[in-house]
Every structure is written in C-alpha cells, then in structure tokens.
Structure 1
Amino acid sequence: MLEVNNLGIEFGGVRALDAVSFKSARGKILSVIGPNGAGKTTLFNLISGVYRPKAGTVMLGGDDVTGLAPHELARRGLSRTFQNLQIFFQMTAVENVMVGHHVHERRSVMAHLLGLPSVSRQNTATRERAMILLEHIGLGRYADQPAGSMPYGALKRLEIARALAVDPSVLLLDEPAAGCNPRETEEIDEIIQYIAGTGVSVILVEHDIRLVMKISDRIVVLNYGRKLSEGCAVEVQSDPAVIEAYLGTEQTQGELSAVGA
C-alpha cells in the first residue's frame, strides 16, 4: 500500500532523516519506534505532505505521490492523526468526524450558498457515515456533545474516527496512546487492530513499547534519522543495536517480558 524509498530531509544543514526505506502492507500494522529526536514525526510529516523531502520517494498504491499536499494525499487514501490533539473543541463529536469526510463531498460552494436540496442530502449522508464511525470507535454516546466536554482518552479516539472518515487505505497514527491511562490504552489497542482487520495499512508511531510489541506485524527502528533495524517484534527485541540505542533500560526490558515478546 505504501512504499518509502531512501527518504531524507535536512533542516539548516542538519540531516533530520537520512535514506529511510520500508514498505507497508494491506491489513498490517507497521510500527516506527526510536528515541526522542530519532525522526519519527519528521518521517510522518514527509509521508503526509507536511514537508517536502530533499531526497527519496513516497509511493502510494503504486503511484509516486512524493511532495503532494496533504489534501491531495487524503483524496488518494492517506490519512493521519497528530501527536498533539488537533480537535475542533467547540464542535460536536459528530461534526468533527464529518469534517474528515469533506474530501469526498462533490457539492460546490455555490450549491451550499443556495441551499440546494443536493447539499442537504449530502450532509445527511455524511452525518450518517460519521455516526457509524463513532459507534465503531465506541463514541456513539458523545455524538452531539461538544468535543471540549469529552475526556482525554475519548478525544484520542475521536481523532482516529475523523481520520477514518477519509476512508483511507493507509492510516498514520502518531502516538495515539500518548497520555492515556492503561484502560484507555487497551481501547486504543483494540481500535488499531480493528482498523487493520478492515484491510487498512496502519503505520504507528508510539512510545508505549508494550503496545507496539503486542500488536505490530513489523517494526522499524529509527535512530539519529537513520533506520537502525527492521523486523518482527522478536527480531527487533533481540537486535543488539536496538537494545543499545533504545530498548536497553531495565524498565523497558521488563515491559517486553511482561507482554511475552
């Protein structure tokens, strides 16, 4: 679904990402991990069109989409969430999800200004789809509540629901469990696996090693902007270079043992 080839970028002469390559598959979960500053969010920004790479290519469904704007990538089936919540807090939960569907709407601005019946039908269909997504994510009871009144864990799921409204083939999740308690993290875990089960290629950046090792089909490890390792959980966990760079702390090793990785 997504192929990244030798992707790289520099900021002020500093190479933030250098020759990173990997492939993601339909219905699989690929996690990107690494220490703070390893280049994980920069990688997501390059893939999703926030930054334009200085080197390398991004292929989506066999097409070269390198440097396309985020809204163009969304129309092609690539969606993402952000490390920090990007929610419209004054809008209801269902309205937030409806925003994500706008890339598929075909009514013109003039049709909206004139209040044509086709616009009303479109809005009704968009709301129905948004309600279905909220139910699937377990947020149906919040549908007509202002997002600002929702608990933090529910807001993290709301952002995922809005990303799904794009109807993506590839979904980038940037630390979806950050700041969540264990129960909320478990809910995020179940949602990610559900999404992959629908055939979406999920690419996950996450610091919760227990979560990563539990649900990932493959793991890419970054360090200082370069790919340090790639493999399944067992392979990455046992890679000496990864242990030295990222997984070597007693706490993290204990977390890995606890999940049986």
Structure 2
Amino acid sequence: MNLLSVEHLGISFGGVRAVDDVSFSISPGEIFSIIGPNGAGKTTLFNLISGVYRSDMGRVTLRGDDVSRLPPEALASRGLARTFQNLQIFARMSVEENVMVGLHRHETRNVLAHLLGLPSVMAENRRTRDEARRYLDMLHLRQVADEVAGSLSYGELKRLEIARAMASRPDILLLDEPAAGCNPTETAEIDEIIVSIARTGVAILLVEHDMKLVMGVSDRVLVLNQGRVLAEGAPDEVARNPSVIDAYLGHDKGAAGGDHV
C-alpha cells in the first residue's frame, strides 16, 4: 500500500520549470532517496511535498487523501514531518526542550489547566519529558539532554533536528541533506539512524549529496535532472544507468556539489 504518492507534480518560477511532471510513490518503512546535480529541483520538490510551496500542476496524496493544498502544520497533524538543509534549532533551549517542542501538538491540556497548575498538567509534562528522552536515546543524544542546544557540535545538531521531527510521531519523514557538513564518523551515525527509523515502519524520503550514504541505505532512488525524472530504481541499477552517469559527469565537479555516482 502506498503511504505517499506524488502524481505529475510541477511548479514554475518566472517561466522556468523548476519541477516538471514528477511522479513516484512510497510505502511504509521504505527509504526512498532523491538525487541529482545542484539545481535539479530536489529541494523545490521537497518544498512542494511538505506544503512550503503550492504546485501549479499535479497533486500529492497521503493515504489516498489529496493534501496538495495543505500548509506544513496541517501535514504534520496527518503524519508528515521534515528537516531542513539549514538547521532550525532553538539555540538557547536545552536539547531535551527542543525535542519536547516536537511533542507539543500531542498534548491535551489547555491553557487554563496550565495557568491553574492542575495535577493533570504536571502528569502530562512528565509523560512528554519521558517520551522526549526516548527520542534522544534513539538519536544518541541522551548524554547531552540538559545542555544548551547552541553548544552542540554540528553533527549533534543534525541529529537533534531529526529527533525533534520524530517527536511529532510521523508516518513519513522528509530528510533534507541530513549528512551535509558532517564528518565521516557523523555521517556513519546518520546512516545507522536512518535505517533504524525505517525499521520502525516510518517511511523516509531522503535528499542527500553523499552518494555512499544514499546507495547504502536506500530501497529505491529517483534521479532528478533539470526538474524532470531521469531515472528511478534500485540503487545499483540507477548507478549503472548511462543517462545518470552522463548527467553527473556532464557538470563540473564544483557545480555538481561534489556528487559522485
């Protein structure tokens, strides 16, 4: 059964077709990666799927429901979470508090109950903190739970953003370059975390420049070039595709953002 379906999706900016007639689907627990040279339309596609942009053709469905016009907060309530290339962290809050923010929409006590300090509020706060710690364990961050988020290393901040996204209890998680800027050790940790999340049944939609990571964790890979689908299939099949090789080698290494197939 398809959890997410993208059907003939497209958008233009100033007459330039940034995403053009893109279609694919993802099943629960699947790791589906999108690759392509810089400017291929990967992040624009992510923005369409996650409600940041509105498409001018095609549609996105989640469990069969058309969600193409829903804003990000409405998509989050339906089980779609996302991280960004540029970190979106509350630097002055603790690591644990950052993850608790992700759990806020699941809390049931109202403002009045909080103002009155009712016992039910205290109990819910304890449950929220306990659940936040479970996500910190999953992302190997429990040891820094009480530290100010702004003091973390870059690799730890990348994992913190994933932990906060997971705290929204998603069915599908969109990861936008989770290993960007990470050293080999940090990248290996991200690799392990992505696989472990997928094993829980959460579908992963991944955009990443690190081809070793992509080819190692993905069930399927879609290649974008100039906004259009160039190829789709198993990682080894895509890596051998002459059109894919030509798309990468046809760009200078700087312009391709260091991608290698």
TM-score over 0.5 for the pair: yes
Residue 112 of structure 1, CA deviation: 2.3
Query: 1:137 corresponds to which residue?
Result: 139
Q: The residue matched to 2:136 in structure 1 has which SS?
A: helix
Query: 1:97 corresponds to which residue?
Result: 99
Q: The residue matched to 1:132 in structure 2 has which SS?
A: helix
Residue 83 of structure 1, aligned match among 59, 82, 85: 85
Aligned in 2, Cα 1:27/1:111: closer, same or farther, shift over 3 Å?
same
Distance 2:233 2:252 in 1: 22
Residue 23 of structure 2, aligned match among 21, 24, 27: 21
Residue 54 of structure 1, aligned match among 44, 53, 56: 56
Q: Does 1:64 align with 2:66?
A: yes
AA aligned opposite 2:22 = V
May I ask how many residue pairs the two structures share in their alignment? 256
Residue 31 of structure 1, aligned match among 26, 30, 33: 33
Check whether the contact 2:248–2:260 (CA below 8 A) recurs between aligned residues: no
Check whether the contact 1:75–1:104 (CA below 8 A) recurs between aligned residues: no
Residue 116 of structure 1, CA deviation: 2.5
Distance 1:144 1:229 in 2: 45
Distance 1:180 1:227 in 2: 28
Query: 2:227 corresponds to which residue?
Result: 225
AA aligned opposite 1:88 = F
**TM-score normalised per structure 1:** 0.93
Identity over aligned pairs, percent:
62
- C-alpha offsets along residues 50-95 of structure 1, whole Å, 9 cap, x if unaligned? 1111111111122111121111111110001000111000000110
Structure 2 residue runs without a partner (length 5+): none
Q: Which moved more, 1:245-254 or 1:154-163?
A: 245-254
Aligned in 2, Cα 1:132/1:68: closer, same or farther, shift over 3 Å?
same
Residue 235 of structure 1, CA deviation: 1.3
Structure 1 residue runs without a partner (length 5+): 257-261
The 5-angstrom pairing of residues 1-261 of structure 1 reads 1-246=3-248
Aligned in 2, Cα 1:248/1:12: closer, same or farther, shift over 3 Å?
closer
Q: Which moved more, 1:239-248 or 1:131-140?
A: 239-248
Higher helix share: 1
Residue 247 of structure 1, CA deviation: 5.5
Aligned in 2, Cα 1:248/1:211: closer, same or farther, shift over 3 Å?
farther
Give the root-mean-square deviation of aligned CA atoms. Answer: 1.9
**TM-score normalised per structure 2:** 0.93
